[in-house]
């Protein structure tokens, strides 16, 4: 049995429970009104960190938890849907979460990064992706969301650092919006 076969077997067990019966009733606005942007690192599982259940949050996982153009495009789409489909509903909040000991920090290693650049990737983009200190990178990503005019000015964005050794999430940037 492969690892993917194990996932399919787990899905069969899930499908046999009543948990799936609630999925059609889950609104596209998350139950907890949060959109979490964090790293792909398996040590940083938002469901575990924040005690999230199915339907509680929208979660975007990208290298380093960085706010990329693709992340902004997704936020713009969700923002638009919210404005058009649920204009009177409470607005969700965005949590940008970077973490300590992030593998993206390896992009700061000139020699290692050069090998990846040789495969056709942009050196400056890779260097800018590195998370060496979450407290230093989170504010820029929060600002990038706040300043994006394709997003509603009502979206509140906060920035956080997760310490993989202590398990604690600390606030780096208090939640704010352009409308504030």
Evaluate whether residue 9 is within a structural domain: no
Evaluate whether residue 60 is within a structural domain: yes
pLDDT at 24: 55
Evaluate whether residue 130 is within a structural domain: yes
Full residue range of the structural domain in which residue 95 is found = 26-176
Evaluate whether residue 62 is within a structural domain: yes
Evaluate whether residue 4 is within a structural domain: no
Evaluate whether residue 100 is within a structural domain: yes
CA distance 21 to 26: 10
CB 31 within 8 Å of CB 56: yes
CATH number of the domain within which 40 lies: 3.40.1050.10
Evaluate whether residue 2 is within a structural domain: no
Evaluate whether residue 14 is within a structural domain: no
pLDDT at 28: 67
How many structural domains does the chain have? 1
What does the DSSP assignment read for 53-89?
A: -TTSEEEEE-GGG---HHHHHHHHHHHHHHHHH-TTS
pLDDT string in tens for the chain (180-residue length): 899 999 899 889 888 887 766 665 555 678 889 999 999 999 999 999 999 988 889 999 999 999 999 999 999 999 998 888 888 888 889 999 999 999 999 999 999 999 999 999 999 999 999 999 999 999 999 999 999 999 988 899 999 999 999 999 999 999 999 887
End-to-end CA distance of the chain: 53
């Amino acid at each position: 049995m492969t690892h993917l076969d194990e996932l399919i077997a787990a899905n069969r067990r899930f499908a046999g429970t009543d948990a799936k019966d609630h999925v059609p009733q889950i609104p596209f606005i998350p139950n907890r009104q949060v959109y979490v942007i964090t790293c792909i690192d398996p040590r940083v599982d938002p469901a575990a960190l924040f005690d999230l259940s199915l339907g509680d949050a929208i979660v975007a996982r990208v290298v380093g938890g960085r706010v990329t153009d693709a992340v902004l495009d997704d936020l713009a789409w969700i923002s638009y849907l919210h404005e058009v489909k649920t204009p009177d509903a409470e607005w969700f909040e965005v949590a940008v979460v970077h973490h300590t000991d992030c593998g993206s920090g390896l992009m700061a290693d000139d020699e290692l990064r050069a090998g990846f650049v040789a495969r056709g990737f942009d050196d400056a983009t890779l260097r800018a992706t590195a998370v060496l200190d979450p407290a230093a990178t989170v504010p820029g990503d929060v600002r990038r969301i706040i300043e994006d005019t394709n997003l509603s000015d009502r979206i509140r964005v906060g920035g956080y650092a997760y310490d993989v050794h202590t398990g604690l999430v600390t606030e780096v940037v208090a939640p704010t919006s352009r409308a504030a």
